[in-house]
Amino acid sequence: VEHRLAEVEEAGDANDLSEMQQRHNIEVSIRTLHEQGQAQCSTVEREMAAADAAVTSLKAQLADLRREANALVEESATAGEPVATMEKQLEELRRSNDLMAAQLHLHDSKNTLRRAADAAAAADAEMPPAAERSSRAAGTGDRQPPPFAADF
């Protein structure tokens, strides 16, 4: 009986070591995924900063175009040209510019959402299934009952 108990204890120690190794592997995987997620976030932040800079530049260009258009309207008014026609054209130009700015913002938002969804999908693809994580966390994963349990 003592010999059998020693065997059972050794088997239990081996199971504990195996379980500890599995937990360690899971922790390493989680840590790795976390680091990869942080790297992806950094990449997205850099890309977003570049996109923001581009949008800011385009907005500045739009403002310059508006100033130029206003200056042209004033010049043509002083030259005696029909101001109403020019004002109508200026208003159409402003609407077009506003639409372009809104489209740039929408495009930027869609890219942000797409990148975030891609990063989340990549992180989810590398995580073990939820049932496996919860069973391991509960300690019921691949655990086998001790060999002597049926003997008692």
**pLDDT confidence of residue 149:** 45
**pLDDT confidence of residue 28:** 92
**What's the gap between Cα 98 and its chain centre?**
29
**pLDDT confidence of residue 32:** 92
CA distance 30 to 21: 14
**pLDDT confidence of residue 128:** 64
**Angle between helices 2-78 and 83-126 in degrees, nearest 10:** 170
| 16-25: pLDDT as tens digits | 767 878 888 9
CA distance 37 to 66: 42
| 75-119: pLDDT as tens digits | 777 776 666 677 777 788 888 888 888 888 888 888 888 888 887
Average confidence score pLDDT of the chain = 76
- Torsion angle of alpha carbons 19, 23, 24, 28, nearest 10°? 150
| 119-141: pLDDT as tens digits | 777 777 777 665 555 555 555 55
Percent of the chain with pLDDT over 70: 69
**pLDDT confidence of residue 102:** 81
Phi and psi for 4 in degrees, rounded to 5? Answer: -65, -40
